[in-house]
Chain A
């Protein structure tokens, strides 16, 4: 019998994603899934989880073969001080730091004030910034077209942070839920994502990058 499924050895069947043959047992499916040979479209596939204890930036440089990615960021914690926080991309291994990003973000203040944050020439896609306070950042972001050399690379994100003032207390009036989108407005292959901080080193956080299969 073949390694998987009720098929004769003489058939010399090779199982692969998108091309499974025969009647598969539960054990076959388990083994094929572990071998990445079982056809199962669309699921979120974990690419990498990084746990931060001391890092200014977090880089994901193995993006896999996906058109859509999802990043989740939990309790990404930065000390007090002036800092910008956002997303930069690597193109063919080179970090893009020029002012070629655009973004548009709606800030919804816990204290009641709403603001628009936008730019047509930024050196990163903004997630947040502060002049003096401490952050605990929680957010998710979808990425589109990163590996497509003929398309711009887009993001859309939603953030629920916690801002701590210089007295160590939760600053509700300075905390903004933010949702918005951004683009690296040049058609290129993006092969890496940097979660960027301009000045401060995070002391905690868990960041997970997923690919959406068959996206």
Chain B
């Protein structure tokens, strides 16, 4: 939980296949709060996480692990987990195409700027998919020790997203 948030950057996109928030991680903070609010996707899709390296490149190598507890309001909870993936699944799960849904989510990002450390995430998201509510809790890691300077939000392949991402430093 945040103790004091300091705004760093806001980035918006309309019908984008990737939303890159560049140069939002720096030496001033170890922990960051990344928030997605009022997202809307062109079809049912997840909003996944990739990181941006110090050269400004979106990292799509198979260097990401994640685990998610999918909490459904109508049926048994499910686990989703994988290693060696090209992105961290589900900063926002099941981002819906209905305007009124307004899927939301956050992720804390740990140690991104430290070139000697892996970059870790943990967060939660909430959406309504059709008539049913889903809440996801996620953890993830970019398992390569390198300096990360930004984050990219990537809708599931075939979909685009309209969203705003706000990045805060946790003091």
Residues in chain A within 8 A of chain B (CB atoms): 40-44, 67-68, 70, 72, 102-106, 116, 118-120, 140, 142, 144-145, 148, 150-152, 154-156, 158, 179-183, 185, 187, 212-215
Contact = CB atoms under 8 A, between A and B. Distances in A.
A67 B73 CA distance: 24
B135 interface: yes
A138 to B, nearest CB: 11
A151 B77 CA distance: 25
A41 B33 CA distance: 14
Contacts of A106: 69, 71, 77, 137
Interface in B3-47: 3-8, 10, 35, 37-38
B9 to A, nearest CB: 10
Nearest to B134: A104
Contacts of B38: 67, 145, 148, 151
Given A43-B5, A118-B75, A181-B135, 8 more contacts: A42-B6, A42-B168, A104-B72, A104-B77, A106-B77, A152-B128, A156-B125, A215-B35
B129 to A, nearest CB: 11
Contacts of A119: 73
7 contacts: A42-B6, A43-B5, A102-B128, A104-B71, A104-B77, A156-B135, A212-B35
B100 interface: yes
Contact of B100 (A41, A142, A187): A187
A215 B168 CA distance: 10
B73 A103 contact: yes
> Most B CB atoms within 10 A — which of A40, A42, A70, A179?
A42
Give the interface size bracket for B toward A: 35 or more
Given A42-B7, A42-B8, A185 B128 contact: yes
B133 A182 contact: yes
Contacts of A40: 7
Contacts of A213: 7
A49 B106 CA distance: 24
A71 to B, nearest CB: 11
Contacts of B75: 118
A41 B137 contact: no
Contacts of A183: 126, 128, 133
B73 A102 contact: yes
B4 A181 contact: no
Nearest to A45: B5
> Most A CB atoms within 10 A — which of B7, B128, B136?
B7
B161 to A, nearest CB: 16
B137 A214 contact: no
Given A118-B71, A118-B74, A120-B73, A152 B135 contact: no
